[in-house]
Chains A and B, each alone.
Chain A
Amino acid sequence: MTVQGEPADHQWVDDHAGPVVRPYAVTGGRARPVTGTFDLISLVKATRTDVSPEIGLGPEHLAIVGLCQRMQSVAEIAAHLDLPVGTVRVLLGDLVARSLVQIREPHGTVGVPDNSIFEAVINGLRAL
């Protein structure tokens, strides 16, 4: 998990190029998910409590299933696993294709949310 101010020193990072090798290796060189688009705030939850290793699933796939026992956004998965968002999208595509996770697309990618959502947010913030 990368938190503000704590550099991810276990990764080979080039300041200009970013993480150089790992994300590519993790996805087998794939840049696009087999299915889905995965907004940063699409919510993800595992459909099973545990998944045994099988062909085509790497440790990062299993790590996502483990993390998503509690619902997480795509951005949170990337932050906790310390992987670029693009890599996480590819891995999620594999998991969706196997029905190992369910996805909820965010509100408002099409059109403006309705008043009930605005009101819920206002009340929720007041109650914080």
Chain B
Amino acid sequence: MDYGHSERPSGAVALPTAIKILVAGGFGVGKTTLVGAVSETRPLRTEEVLTESGVGIDDLSGVEAKRTTTVAMDFGRITISEDLVLYLFGTPGQDRFWFVWDELALGAIGAVVLADTRRLADCFPSIDYFEGRGTPFLVAVNCFEGARHYRLDEVQAALNLDPEVPVLLCDARQRESAKEVLITLVEHAMKLREARRSAD
């Protein structure tokens, strides 16, 4: 939809469209670092204020019926062309804010799930979520110093992933590495789209 299309106010111009990619994974796995490594500016932070009913907590006291919770999201922007702007969103904590995840995942072209091999189970909820939604995703193993190196097929097996889900190593601090992760994701999303189309 394009507001004011039929009656363009003077000064209105053609605006680009925006698309987004999500960056998910466990606490402290490098989501914000990856967003910052490829974005035009330092990651920005935005907040959604939810009433507690929005996060599924019932207030039985009845006194403060409108208590709220703040969910913070980090994001960055990459201007692809005059017509296209890409936003990267780091997803908030994996356990409580599915409401916000649903909003973020709507229309996302895909998701990067960051994993740390020292705490591999931390990324299970993200993987479950994107599998359940049918959002194209890949797993990028962020290589922290001191972490034992596993082969990618070991990670793939440990995560019980579909063989078609890409698994790759990355260093979330390095722009080139972060770029490669995103390019692999978009290529994967494009392949899935074609496969789904020819299956229909």
Contacts and interface: CB of A to CB of B under 8 A. Distances in A.
A25 interface: no
Interface residues of B, number: 61
Interface in A108-127: 108-110, 112-113, 115, 117-122, 124-126
Nearest to B40: A128
Interface in B142-200: 175, 179, 182-183, 186-187, 189-190, 193-194
B186 A118 contact: yes
A73 B86 CA distance: 11
Nearest to A127: B80
10 A-B pairs with the lowest CB-CB distances in the bound complex, closest first: A18-B70, A124-B80, A79-B44, A104-B15, A108-B107, A41-B18, A118-B190, A99-B9, A109-B107, A47-B11
28 contacts: A3-B43, A4-B43, A16-B69, A17-B68, A17-B70, A19-B70, A39-B107, A41-B19, A41-B20, A43-B16, A43-B17, A46-B11, A73-B18, A73-B85, A75-B46, A75-B73, A76-B44, A79-B45, A103-B2, A104-B18, A106-B20, A107-B17, A112-B109, A115-B193, A118-B189, A118-B190, A122-B187, A125-B182
Interface of A: 1-4, 16-19, 23, 35-36, 39-43, 45-49, 71, 73, 75-76, 78-80, 84-87, 96, 99-100, 102-110, 112-113, 115, 117-122, 124-126, 128
